[in-house]
């Protein structure tokens, strides 16, 4: 799988446009489209063993200073907003140096400079290892968000 693809941000009704990126991404998008996520409990769900799994989360969006810009080494994230709205900081990895690296947890954190995009119910982002992302940011004020994060092993 190519680790240098560029991120995708779109509505779930357009997910068919991205199933050709990889079989694992296709499985993840099928899971989103075929699961009653509004009634799915918080927790971890296996989709394809250790290769593709889902995390259903609920939280209150946070002040920008409480959110960290991150990337992963071994996983692609698909972040899908089940309900609510949040801002996500985004950038492409182009030589930025992480200030903290946790190889064993597959995450590195970077200075928070990023462009913000709004993600609302039905929006998703496919984030490759070359994509920096800063999820969970509140839009004006904190609000409740239910989100699905699918981790796909590269």
In which band, very low, low, confident or very high, does the pLDDT at 2 lie, cut at 50, 70 and 90? very low
pLDDT for 25-43, tens place per residue?
A: 999 999 999 999 999 999 9
Distance of CA 115 to the CA centre of its chain: 15
pLDDT for 56-91, tens place per residue?
A: 999 999 999 999 999 999 999 999 999 999 999 999
Question: 104 — phi, psi (to 5°)?
Answer: -65, -25
In which band, very low, low, confident or very high, does the pLDDT at 10 lie, cut at 50, 70 and 90? very high
In which band, very low, low, confident or very high, does the pLDDT at 5 lie, cut at 50, 70 and 90? low
- Three-state secondary structure of 66-105: HCCEEECCCEEEEEEEEECEEEEEEEECCCCCCCEEEHHH
pTM score: 0.94
Bridge partners of 49, per DSSP, are none
Helix (H) or strand (E) holding 118, with range, is: strand 115-120
pLDDT for 98-127, tens place per residue?
A: 999 999 999 999 998 899 999 999 999 999
Domains defined along the chain, listed by start: 8-153 (2.60.120.370)
pLDDT at residue number 3: 45
Torsional sign, CA 130, 96, 107, 78: negative
pLDDT at residue number 1: 41
Q: Which of 94, 100, 102 is nearest to 131 (CA)?
A: 94
Distance from C-alpha of 46 to C-alpha of 63, rounded to nearest angstrom: 31
């Amino acid at each position: 799988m190519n680790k240098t693809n560029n991120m995708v941000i779109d509505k779930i009704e357009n997910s068919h446009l991205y199933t050709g990126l990889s079989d694992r991404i296709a499985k993840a998008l099928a899971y989103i489209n075929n699961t009653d996520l509004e009634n799915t409990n918080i927790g971890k769900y296996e989709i394809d063993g250790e290769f593709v799994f889902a995390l259903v989360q609920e939280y209150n969006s946070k002040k920008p200073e409480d959110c960290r810009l991150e990337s992963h080494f071994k996983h692609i994230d698909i972040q899908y907003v089940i309900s609510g709205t949040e801002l996500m900081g985004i950038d492409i990895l182009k030589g930025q140096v992480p200030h903290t690296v946790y190889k064993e947890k597959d995450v590195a954190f970077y200075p928070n400079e990023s462009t913000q995009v709004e993600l609302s119910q039905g929006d998703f982002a496919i984030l490759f290892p070359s994509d920096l992302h800063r999820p969970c940011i509140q839009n004006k004020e904190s609000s409740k968000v239910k989100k699905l994060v699918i981790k796909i092993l590269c």
